[in-house]
Structure 1
Amino acid sequence: MKSAVFAIDVGYGNTKYAYRAASGTVATGMFPSLAPLAASRSLSGYGESVLAARKVAVVCIDRVEYEVGPDVSLTAAYGKTGRALADDYVLTDNYAALLFGALHFAGVTHVERLVLGLPVHNMKKYAAALKERFAGELDFGHGRITVDKVVVIPQPLGSLVLATSTRNGGFGRDDAHLVVDVGYFTTDWVYANGFTMDDNRSGGMPGGASQIYQRIASLIARDEGEEVEDIERIDKALREQAPFFFYGKDIDLGAYVEQADPIITGVVKEMQNNVGRLPNVRSIILSGGGAALYAAAIRRAFPRVVIELIDSPCMANARGFLLVGEAGIKRERRAA
C-alpha cells in the first residue's frame, strides 16, 4: 500500500502511528514500545487453537531479530522487557524496530513523506540522523519499503496542530498557547504565538510518566517487602483505572500516585521557571500518555490559565504529525 503521509510517534512508552485510509478517514494504531529479542522457538502456534496466536512481528535489524507489536509481553524475567530509556533512544536499534513495526502493521510499502517527532531538547542533536537513517529503501525482513522523504518536528507541535484543527477561534497568529507533552520518559513544552515557536520559552527535560511509575514501584516494594520490576503493568493499570495485581493482591494505586506528587511538582516547577507566569496565554494544552498524571500540578502552578486536556492525549502527536505532513505536501504541490 502506498501512503502519501505516514506519521509515527515512537515514544518511550508506546509507539503510535496515523495515516489516511483509502476511505479518507484517519487510521491509527498503537503498541507498547517494547522490543525484546525474538524467541528462538514459538509454542503459541501449537495446541490446535487452544493457545491463541499473538499479534506480534519479528523485525530484523543488522541480523538481530526483535519482537514488536500489540501483544508483546509486558513482563519478563528480571524486568528485561526490551524497553530503552536513554537520551539517545532514537539512535538505538530498539527505536528502529518499533518504527518498522508500525509500517508493517499498517501494511505500508511506499511512503511519500514519513513524519517523525523528537523531544524539544533533542531536535538539534538527532533530527539529521533520523532523516538519513529512515529515508530511501528499507528492508527489515518483511519486504522492501520505500520512503521518499523524512520530516522531523518537535513532538508538542503535533498536539498544537491537532488542537487547532478541532477548534474554532482562539488560534489566531497573535494568540499564545503553551503545549505540554507529558511522555513516558520526557516532558516537553512549546510556547507558541499562532504557529510561531518561541525557542527561549520552549524546552523539555527527562521526567515523564516513567518516573512516576518507578516511584510507585519503589513504594509498593517498601510496603510489600518484594521488588516490583514490571512498571509496564503499573502504566497499564493506571491507564485503564484498574487495580495493580501483585502476589495475589489487588492494589489500589491512587494513594501511591499522591505520594509521587513531589516528582511531578519538580518537573512542573522547572517548566514554570522557563515559561514564566503566562498572563497572555489563552490556554495550556496538555497531551501525551502522562497528561492526566500531571494535570493537577499544572493547574496549581498556573491557577488563572485555562487548562485543556486534549482528546485521546496518547495519540495526539501522531494525529498532529499526519496533519503537518499533509499540509506540507499541499504547499509543495501548489508551488509546483
Structure 2
Amino acid sequence: MKTSVFAIDVGYGNTKYAHRAASGTIATGMFPSLAPLAASHALSGYGDSVLAARKVATIVIEQIEYEVGPDVSLTAAYGKTGRALSNDFVLSDNYAALLFGAIHFAGVTQIERLVLGLPVHNMKKYSGALRDRFTGTFDYGPGRISIDKVVVIPQPLGSLVAASANRQSEFGRESAHLVIDVGYFTTDWVYANGFTMDDKRSDGIPGGASQIYQRIAALISRDQDEQVEDIELIDKALRERKPFFFYGNDIDLAPYLEQSQPVIAGVVKEMQNNVGQLTNARSIILSGGGGALYAPSIRKAFPRVTLEVIDSPCTANAKGFLIVGEAGLTRERATAKA
C-alpha cells in the first residue's frame, strides 16, 4: 500500500503511528517499544490453537532478528525486555526495528513523506542522522519499503497541532501555550505563540514516567526484601489502576506513587525555572503517556493557568506529526505548480 504521509512517534515507552485511511479519517496504532531478540523457536500457535499465536513481527536489522508488536512480552528473565533507555536511542537498532515494525503493522510499502519526532534537546544532534538513515529503500524482513523523504520535528509540536486541529481560533499568533509531553524516558516542553516556538523557553530533560516506575520498584524491593525488575508491569498496573501482583500478593501502588512525588516535583521545578510564571499563556497542554502522573505537580506549579489534558495523549504526537506532514506536502505541491 502506498501512502503520501506516514507519521511515527517511536517513544521510549510505546511506538505510535498514524496515517490517513481510505475513508479520510486518521488511523492509528500502538505497541510497546520493546525489541527483544527473536526466539530461535516459537511454541505459540501450536497445539490445535491451545497456545494462541501472538501478534508480533520479526524485523531484521543488520542481519539480527528482533521481535516487535502489540503482543511482545512485557517481562523477561532479569528484566531484559529489549527496551533501550539512553539519549542516543534513535541511533540504535532497537529504534530501527520499532520503526519498521510500525510500517509493517500498518501494511504500508511506499511512503512519500515519513514524519518523525525527537525530544527537544536532541533535535540539533540527531535529526540529520534520522533523515539520512531512513530515506531510501529497505528490506527489513517481512517486506520491502521505500521512503522518499524524512521530516523530523520536535515531539511536543505534534501535541500542539493535534490540540489545535478543531480550535484554530484559540491558537492564533498572539496566543501563547505551553505544551508538555511527558514521555517514558524524557519530559519535553514547548512554549509557542501560535505555532512559533520560543527556543529560549522550550527544552526537555531526561526524567519521564520510567523514573517513577523505577522509584516505585525500588520502594517495593525495600519492603519485600526482594529485587523488583518488572517496571513494565508497574507501568501497566498504574495505567489500568490495578494492583501490582508480586509473589502471590496484590500490592496497592497508590502509597508508592505518593512516595515518588519528590521525583516528579524535581522535573517540574526544572521546567518551571525555564518557562517562568506563564502570565501570558492561555493554557498548558499536557500530553504523553506519563501525563496523568505529572498532572498534580504541574497544577501545583502553575495554579492560575488552565491545564488541559489532551484527548488520547499517547497517540496525540503521532496524529499531530501526520497533520504537519500533510500540510508541508500540500505546500510543496502548490509551489511546484506555481
Which residue type is aligned with residue 175 of structure 2?
Answer: D
User: For residue 152 of structure 2, what is the amino acid of its counterpart?
Assistant: V
How big is each residue's C-alpha offset from its partner over 1:276-315, in whole Å with a ceiling of 9 and x where there is no partner?
0010000000000000000000001001000000001111
Give the AA of the match of 1:236. K
Give distance in 2, aligned partners of 1:36 and 1:291. Answer: 27
Aligned-partner SS, 1:267: helix
Distance 1:170 1:317 in 2: 19
The Cα of 1:169 is off from its aligned counterpart by: 2.7
SS, match of residue 258 in structure 1? helix
Amino acid at match of 1:73: S
Q: Percent same amino acid at aligned positions? A: 77
Correspondence list, 1:20-169, <5 A: 20-167=20-167, 169=169
Tell me the CA shift for residue 142 of structure 1: 1.6
Between stretches 135-144 and 110-119, larger displacement belongs to 135-144
Distance in 1 between residues matched to 2:138 and 2:125, nearest whole Å: 23
CA distance in 1, matches of 2:221, 2:143: 45
Number of residue-to-residue matches in the alignment:
336
Secondary structure of the residue aligned to 2:286 is strand
Aligned residue type for 2:308: E
Where structure 1 has 5 or more consecutive residues not aligned to the other structure, the ranges are none
Give secondary structure in 1 for the equivalent of 2:178. Answer: strand
Q: 1:242 Cα deviation (Å)?
A: 1.3
Q: Give 3-state SS (helix, strand or coil) of 2:167's partner.
A: coil
Partners of 1:126 and 1:27 in 2: how far apart? 28
Runs of 4+ in 1 over 6 A off after TM superposition: none
The corresponding residue for 1:290 is: 290
SS in 2 for 1:24: coil
Match of 1:309 in 2: 309
Aligned to 2:248: 248
Q: Deviations over 1:185-213 (max 9, x none)?
A: 00000000001100000000000000000
Q: Distance in 1 between matches of 2:14 and 2:79?
A: 17
CA positional deviation for 1:22? 1.0
**Cα offsets for 1:137-169 (capped at 9, x unmatched):** 011012210001000000000000001103253
Number of the residue aligned with 2:215: 215
Extract unaligned runs of 5+ from structure 2: none
Which sits farther off after the overlay, 131-140 or 163-172? 163-172
AA paired with 1:7? A
The within-5 A match list for 1:216-295 is 216-295=216-295
Instruction: Return the alpha-carbon distance in structure 1 between the equivalents of residues 258 and 19 of structure 2.
Output: 38
TM-score (ref. length: structure 1): 0.99
Deviation for aligned residue 1:224: 1.2
SS of alignment partner, residue 322 of structure 2 = helix
The corresponding residue for 2:13 is: 13
> What does residue 182 of structure 2 align with?
182
Per-residue displacement from partner, 1:60-101 (whole Å, max 9, x unpaired)? 000000000000000000000000000000000000000000
Corresponding residue number in structure 1 for 2:325 = 325
1:197-212 equivalence runs, <5 A: 197-212=197-212
Per-residue deviation at 1:179?
0.3
Q: Which amino acid aligns with 2:233?
A: R
- SS across alignment from 1:9: strand
CA distance in 2, matches of 1:328, 1:59: 30
CA distance in 1, matches of 2:213, 2:166: 32
Quote the RMSD (CA, aligned, Å). Answer: 0.7
Cα distance in 2 between the residues matched to 1:20 and 1:226? 48
Compare 123-132 and 159-168 and name the one that shifted more. 159-168
Counterpart residue identity of residue 217, structure 1: A
User: What CA distance in whole angstroms lies between the structure 2 residues aligned with 1:327 and 1:138?
Assistant: 26
Q: What is the letter of the counterpart of residue 320 of structure 1?
A: G
Distance (whole Å) between structure 1 residues aligned to residue 254 and residue 318 of structure 2: 29
Deviation at 1:171, TM superposition (A): 0.8
Deviations 1:105-160 (A, max 9, x none): 00000000000000000000000000000011011012210001000000000000
Once residues 141 and 163 of structure 1 are traced to their aligned partners in structure 2, the CA distance between those partners, rounded to angstroms, is 36
